[in-house]
Amino acid sequence: MGTEQAAEDADAMRADSLAREIFTGVADKWSLLIIEVLRDRTLRFTELRAEVAGISHKMLTQTLRRLERDGVVHRTVHPTVPPRVEYRLTDAGRSLRDTVNGMCAWSRTHLDEIEASRHRFDEQQHA
């Protein structure tokens, strides 16, 4: 029993660290912005690049690869010439998007409050 308990604990720890790794992998600026703009649409690489605003060619491919690998976005390659590659959220991606939407909504609803807080804070510093 002692050993069984130890094995369970080890599993729990592995799961925890994996969960944290997944969380921190997804919890970054570009990933979240991509998930946000994809919504329930299907976008091509160039369209995505235009929508995200500020992301470089390289960062977009890098981030899309990670998201694809984690099964958050689905990538469809149409073997035409010129090539046509389309990205859309998977089911898992859509469920993640729902929480990202919450963060976006938070940013918008707390806009004025945050601006005010910043001004207060900056004044305190000068005093």
Partner DNA sequence: CGGTATCCCTCCCGATACTG
Partner DNA sequence: CAGTATCGGGAGGGATACCG
Helices (H) and strands (E) in the chain, counts: 6, 3
Compute the CA torsion angle 32, 75, 79, 48 (nearest 10 deg). -10
Question: For the window 12-41, what string marks contact with DNA as x by the rule CB under 7 A?
Answer: -----------------xx-----------
Q: Smallest distance from the beta carbon of 102 to a second copy, in angstroms?
A: 3
By CB under 7 A, residue 56 contacts DNA: yes
Q: Is 115 in the site for a second copy (CB under 8 A)?
A: yes
Measured distance CA(49)–CA(59) in Å, rounded: 10
The answer to whether 64 contacts DNA (rule: CB under 7 A) is yes
